[in-house]
Amino acid sequence: MSILGKLSFKDQAFKLRENAILDATTSILKDKGFDLMTMDDVANAVGISKPSLYKHFKSKEDLVGEAMVRLIDGASDFLHQLDDSLRPIEVLSAMLEWALRVRLEGGMPFLPSTSEHVREMLMRNLKYVGRVLKLNYQLEKLVNKAQKSGDLNPNLPSDVILFSFYSRTCDPAVEFLQKYSKLDKEEIIKHMLEVCFAGIGGPTSKAEKN
């Protein structure tokens, strides 16, 4: 039975409205960013009054923090659902593919990468920080294992690989390709994964290095 199924009808309605609020917040953040988004924007998008919105979230900071927590929880849930038999590099590829799909469907505002103010705000959110540290630890272990197996460059510091991996989840090339190229979503995902894990050098450049 789902979590919603265990709640009373009133609590279910409250939870569904909360999810709608977070969906609207994510969409508005993607279009406007944190500074330009207002609580009025969110209330209007959901079709509720601002007092009703404040019953769920006491401030814009609280609301945005919860939206980002939900995003991290989604990534963690996806990670836990992956087959244990997958190699570390395959898990990392699957995680990036998940993130790219969420991006292309409008579900991932890359706030921390675009605003120092937002980074500082999120770092004060202990719930968010705890989730991020846990996921970071899991991904770092995958990077280390992939380096030991030779699937990732063992000569690079693991932090360089890990943060390069994170940067791919908020690479503006995704939006440029979506808006200005003739590639569909599946092609964009395929090529972005190839760029991340194989690079943009051709066979000739690799042969010259060898």
pLDDT of 131-172, one tens digit each?
A: 999 999 999 999 999 999 999 999 999 999 999 999 998 888
Q: Cα–Cα distance between 170 and 108 in angstroms, integer? A: 8
DSSP letter, residue 111 = G
The percent of residues above 70 in pLDDT, for the chain, comes to 90
The pLDDT of residue 157 is 97
Residue-wise pLDDT tens digits, 29-45: 888 888 899 999 999 99
Q: Identify the residue with better confidence: 48 or 108.
A: 48
Residue-wise pLDDT tens digits, 190-204: 999 999 999 988 766
Q: Cα–Cα distance between 65 and 93 in angstroms, integer? A: 27
**What is the distance of C-alpha 50 from the center of its chain?**
27
- Winning range, highest mean pLDDT, from 65-74, 104-113, 194-203: 65-74
The pLDDT of residue 111 is 62
Domains and CATH numbers, the chain: 60-199 (1.10.357.10)
Least confident span in 40-49, 114-123, 125-134: 114-123
Both tokens assigned to 186: 């599946």
